[in-house]
Amino acid sequence: MYIKDFIEYLQRERRMSKNTLEAYKRDVHEFVAFEGARGMTDLLDTSSTEIVAFLHDLKISGKSAATVNRKLASVRAFFNFLMNSGLVSSNPTADIKSPKIERKELEYLTLEEVDKLLETPDDSIRGIRDKAILEVLYATGIRVSELIEADLEDINMRMGFITCDGEQSKARIVPLGRPARAALETYIYEARNALVKDNTEEKALFVNYYGSRITRQGLWKVLKEYGEKAGIEKKLTPNIMRNSFAVHMLQNGADLKSLQELMGHEDISATQAYLAVTKNRIKDVYDKTHPRA
């Protein structure tokens, strides 16, 4: 009962995306199941000891620090909700610190790798679709969920932009570059109808062979296939495409605030993570070119 009310609250007050809500729901249910297995009968009696035990169990089961942090954040938000609802007097997670995350080196494509990748799709119906997918991902830096959830009506071809709902259902407009617009036009007017066939009521922008919305798994397969065909040694993922967009924008003079808006980051600290890459590049250029470096 508490969890249902909590999710409804997040949906109503925080306007979170469907995927985010599902993650909160799974995390809290996992905590409740853990507590139930330990004999806890009333969640309202939870203490910090139970929270620590839950986090320890996650750690010894091999969960990464990032995953543990996310689950702790979900449980923390749940008890904040219970506290604000007057059901508990304090939040048992209040004094528990999140595990430190070792920052992995940011993976992104070089300009040469991007060129190779975008030249790889052929002129078949599927190739035309895949070319449009790759061009849009690189041109906009949108999330994988935003791409697969995009509808035809979200594309404004005349003005050259795509509308994304983004996190917490906050819509934003992202420009499409000329190559992405050209690839989309070819796909929409030459390939999409062949894929949709009789399913004329399908609203999805990108569809699969069955004429229905492309899935997350389907998109990952597209990237994996073309990454291998292009001879890219990195394992190509939607996140690498997003990283490539951000890094290349900064390398070519984009300001941090504009990039934050384009990427739909709630907190600018998420955007600042890309700065380290550009700083390293500037130092490399300096070291290679300055006579007294």
Tell me the pLDDT tens digit for each residue of 66-93: 888 899 999 999 999 999 989 988 999 9
pLDDT of residue 283 exceeding 70: no
222: in domain: yes
Cα distances (angstroms) measured from residue 78 to each of 58, 67, 128: 18, 17, 45
| Whole-model pTM over 0.85 | no
Task: State the DSSP H helix or E strand holding residue 147, giving kind and residue range, or none if neither.
Answer: helix 144-149
Distance CA(138)–CA(169), nearest Å, equals: 22
Q: Is the pLDDT of residue 284 over 90?
A: no
For residue 51, being part of any structural domain is answered with yes
In the residue annotation, 189 being an active-site residue is answered as no
Same domain, 141 and 280: yes
Do 210 and 79 lie in one domain? The reply is: no
Cα–Cα dist 115/131, whole Å? 12
How is the beta sheet containing 155-156 ordered, strand by strand? 155-156, 161-164, 172-175
User: Into how many domains does the chain fold?
Assistant: 2
From the list 143, 181, 192, 242, the catalytic residue is 242
> Is residue 75 domain-shared with residue 122, that is, in the same domain?
no
150 and 8 within one domain: no
The tokens for 194 are 């062949």
Q: 178 is in which domain, residue-wise?
A: 111-287
Q: For residue 121, is it within any domain?
A: yes
Residue 140 shares a structural domain with residue 213: yes
Assign 123 to helix, strand or coil: coil
With respect to residue 33, please indicate whether it lies within any of the assigned structural domains: yes
Boundary of a domain, candidates 84, 103, 123: 84
Assigned domain for 214 exists: yes
Residues 171-208 have pLDDT tens digits of 889 999 999 999 999 999 999 999 998 888 899 999 99
What's the chain's length in residues?
A: 293
> Which structure tokens are listed for 262?
């384009």
User: Are 229 and 271 members of one domain?
Assistant: yes
Give the model's confidence band at 112: pLDDT under 50 very low, under 70 low, under 90 confident, else very high: very high
- Are 156 and 198 within one domain? yes
Q: Out of 189, 209, 210, 286, which one is annotated catalytic?
A: 286
Q: Is residue 96 in a domain?
A: no
- Among 37, 69, 84, the domain-final residue is 84
Structure tokens at 124: 């078949």
**How confident is the model at residue 290, as a pLDDT?**
53
Indicate whether 210 and 122 sit together in one domain. Answer: yes
Residues 9 and 151 in one domain: no
Higher pLDDT pick, 16 / 58: 58
φ, ψ for residue 249 (rounded to 5)?
-65, -45
Domain CATH for 32: 1.10.150.130
- Token couple for 177: 């570059």
18 and 68 inside one domain: yes
Helix (H) or strand (E) holding 162: strand 161-164
Same structural domain for residues 127 and 177? Answer: yes
Domain boundary among 24, 49, 84: 84
